[in-house]
Amino acid sequence: MRFTLFSNNYLKYTPNLPKMADISVKAGQVKKSSTLALTSLAKGMIKEGRDVVLFGAGEPDFEPPREFDDSFYSALKEGKTKYTPVAGIAELRKAIADYSSEKRGTNLFRENVIVTPGAKYSLFLSMMAVLNRGDEIIIPRPYWVSYAEQAKLADAAPVIADSSEDFEIRADLIESKLTQRTRAILINSPNNPSGQVLKRNEARKIADMAIENDIWIISDEVYEPFVYEGKHSSFLSLGDDIKSRTIVINGFSKSLAITGLRIGYAIAPENVIDAMSGMQGHTVSNVCSALQYAALDVLNKSLLDSFSAGMRRVFNKRRMMMYSSLKKIEGVNVYLPMGAFYMFPDVSSFYSEKINGSFELSELLLNKAGVAVIPGAGFGADNNIRLSYACSDETIEKGMERLAEFFSGQGG
């Protein structure tokens, strides 16, 4: 049996339903997430007994700290199971504000924080809060799959900016996309899928551009704990002039290895947080109550940084393992990423009439080599594929052997 996911129609899905059952134009425009779809397809193959190496995962393969589990169960036992304030319990909002103030060398207050079900919902609410119909939001390539879809749901137009050859985010390339309609710039560093980390001087130039042109910065910093070389530059650490027009998105999915539990947050000026709370109140009400208490406990016990530092050390070793194996494969062009937990090699030398881009190559890899990767096309970079090294050393070794064999058979 052949598993098919990556037909071209997949990304160009247009509903063709009988009149009575028509869905809205807005819903019909949304592309499904290629990362989630690929991972569930590959997991389905494993369930059927196929031997598949998973390099698709966008989540740490660690258990959360034991103290987190304990606090979560305790909260349930203590009956902390009722609705909470929409923007989050006051103690958690304050703890996040204090933690971020200290880390960024700035002053933040409870009123600057909203706790949402995952960072993804913070992102969505932030776009809904600051974008108007017809506004443009500049998003550097390669971009995480949900940004453009969320912008469209907010009735705005995503405008894609190029990055350098190795996917470094550059202010001048963003500036070339500015128009009268630009209302926001979305920056994701450390970046998914490229693994690149925004340089501080580029961050400052982007901040100046935002100030001069009266533009919002939405800065997605969820991979912040995973920087192996250089330093993470949060827009919150750049000074008060940019803080007043910055929305930082962060969360606990990656930093506490709890992707399935759904808790993230945004930090922004109070009026933006108010607007986001208004919309959260009418859509999801609040994040799971017990989960908020467990996250609070982790912050109060100062466990967050030490826990993520442990993961970072392991990821760094795997990063070097995967990089050195990929580098040896002729025709695969890979740079060493500075952060996150992904490699994003260029595999376009293997494209041909038979392999017409990253979707077809990924499909072949899955079916012929039993290796699940994510096609770069969904991230706006069809020459590339994304491999996650959030998996065991053995998985990396096995997968790299299979890739080497597969590619040597293709001829670069």
144 binds ligand PLP (CB under 6 A): yes
Q: Contacts from 299-302 at CB under 8 Å and sequence distance 24+?
A: 299/92, 299/95, 299/96, 299/99, 300/95, 301/67
Q: What CA–CA distance (Å, rounded) separates 227 from 221? A: 11
Nearer to ligand PLP, 220 or 360 (CB): 220
Q: What CA–CA distance (Å, rounded) separates 89 from 252? A: 16
Q: State the sign of the Cα–Cα–Cα–Cα dihedral 379, 383, 389, 394.
A: positive
Which range, of 76-84, 251-259, 299-307, 398-406, touches ligand PLP by CB under 6 A?
251-259
Nearer to ligand PLP, 68 or 406 (CB): 68
Q: Contact, 376 vs 142, CB < 8 A?
A: yes
118 binds ligand PLP (CB under 6 A): yes
Please name the amino acid found at residue 327: K
Nearer to ligand PLP, 147 or 335 (CB): 147
Among 163, 182, 189, 192, binds ligand PLP (CB under 6 A): 192
Per-residue binding string, ligand PLP, 298-337, x by CB under 6 A, is ----------------------------------------
74 binds ligand PLP (CB under 6 A): no
140 binds ligand PLP (CB under 6 A): no
Q: What CA–CA distance (Å, rounded) separates 116 from 134? A: 26
Residue whose C-alpha is closest to residue 78's, from 258, 294, 255: 294
| 114 phi/psi in degrees, rounded to 5 | -125, 140
Could you tell me the smallest distance in angstroms from the CB atom of residue 220 to ligand PLP?
Answer: 5
- Coil vs helix vs strand at 286: coil
Say how many residues make up the chain: 412
Could you tell me the smallest distance in angstroms from the CB atom of residue 188 to ligand PLP?
Answer: 5
Among 71, 126, 182, 188, binds ligand PLP (CB under 6 A): 188
Could you tell me the smallest distance in angstroms from the CB atom of residue 122 to ligand PLP?
Answer: 8
Q: What CA–CA distance (Å, rounded) separates 319 from 342? A: 8
Which range, of 117-125, 275-283, 363-371, 379-387, touches ligand PLP by CB under 6 A?
117-125
88 binds ligand PLP (CB under 6 A): no
Among 33, 74, 106, 259, binds ligand PLP (CB under 6 A): 259
Nearer to ligand PLP, 35 or 182 (CB): 35
119 binds ligand PLP (CB under 6 A): yes
Q: Which of residues 200-229 bind ligand PLP (CB under 6 A)?
A: 220, 222
Could you tell me the smallest distance in angstroms from the CB atom of residue 249 to ligand PLP?
Answer: 7
Which residue's CB comes closest to ligand PLP? 118
From residue 332, how far is each of 64, 194, 345, 384, 395 by CA, in Å? Answer: 35, 15, 6, 9, 19
Could you tell me the smallest distance in angstroms from the CB atom of residue 45 to ligand PLP?
Answer: 22
292 binds ligand PLP (CB under 6 A): no
Residue whose C-alpha is closest to residue 59's, from 32, 39, 37: 39
Among 64, 140, 251, 399, binds ligand PLP (CB under 6 A): 251
Q: Please, where are the H alpha helices in 15-82? A: 25-29, 34-47, 66-77
Q: Which of residues 47-66 bind ligand PLP (CB under 6 A)?
A: 58
Count of residues in contact with ligand PLP, rule CB under 6 A: 13
Q: What CA–CA distance (Å, rounded) separates 382 from 396? A: 23
From residue 29, how far is each of 88, 97, 150, 151 by CA, in Å? Answer: 32, 36, 11, 11
Q: Contact, 151 vs 133, CB < 8 A?
A: no
Nearer to ligand PLP, 110 or 120 (CB): 120
Q: Which residues bind ligand PLP (CB under 6 A)?
A: 58, 118-120, 144, 188, 192, 220, 222, 251, 253, 259, 264
